[in-house]
Amino acid sequence: MRKGSLYRETQDELAKRRGSGFLAVISELDWLLALELEQGKPLDENKITTSQKVWVWEKGFLFGLGIHSAVLFSLTISFALYLYALDGPPWLGKFAYAFLLLLSVLILKFGIPLWFLNSYYIYPRGIVTTYLSWLLWGYSFGLFLADLIYFLFSLLSKAIVWILGFSEFWEKIHNFIEKYLPQLTSFWWILADLILLPLSFLPVFLLYYWKRKHPLGRYEWLPLDYVPEDED
């Protein structure tokens, strides 16, 4: 009976600690980081099960895919409709898309991974670093898939606009897209879209850079398993 009660208490504590969605990953990392800081050394990463690794990878993948898709699709359309309402000059459309690309690289592909590394990285190995590795790999693949979908979508839109843009029926739509969504009509933007694909794995490169920059060194002190009693 006691064993069953302890099991339920453990499961309840795990549920409270994890939360739901991507918040569960943050909660798990906070808890594991506290453990490694308390022990003063990296914990054995071999104790992480395959299902835990896949769970972390999946959460990172869905987070990267969701947030990057929102930037590429939702913000792009919102910017285009806003510029259309302002009746701004054609160069504003190019500036808006360039701004979104810069936002994607600086915040999503560099800023968020950098925050994770600054907040949770303490050892080049251990449970926390293993969690971070699987998380950033999943996050990078999510970013890559979003970029790939948008790249294929832009290629398809260029073909459709080029074929149908000369008809009278498509003239107004073509003019709108060409003015406020130039990345969907101009082939010059293909190079920028291609550059974004490998940059999706910038979080992984940051992790490996962090490992080389912060190796597991030797210190003058070592943490004690217990504090000896004062004999005086």
| Tens digit of pLDDT at every position of the chain (232 positions) | 344 454 455 445 555 555 556 778 888 888 888 888 887 777 878 878 888 888 899 999 999 998 888 887 777 777 666 666 666 666 666 777 778 888 888 889 999 999 999 988 888 888 888 999 999 999 999 999 999 998 888 888 777 777 765 656 566 666 667 666 777 777 777 888 888 899 999 999 999 998 888 776 544 444 545 454 555 4
* Torsion sign, CA atoms 225, 228, 229, 230: negative
DSSP symbol at 230: P
Report in angstroms the alpha-carbon separations of 184 from 90, 129, 137, 190, 191: 14, 40, 29, 9, 13
DSSP symbol at 229: P
- The reported pLDDT for the residue numbered 29 is 86
Q: Name the nearest CA neighbour of 209 among 102, 127, 136.
A: 136
- The reported pLDDT for the residue numbered 139 is 95
Q: Name the nearest CA neighbour of 184 among 194, 169, 174, 199.
A: 174
Q: What angle do CA 60, 65, 67 make, to 5 degrees?
A: 95
User: What does pTM read for this prediction?
Assistant: 0.77
- Rounded distance between C-alpha atoms, residue 71 and residue 117, angstroms: 23
DSSP 58-117: HHHHHHHHHHHHIIIIIIHHHHHHHHHHHT--HHHHHHHHHHHHHHIIIIIIIIHHHHHH
167-177 tens-digit pLDDT: 565 666 666 67
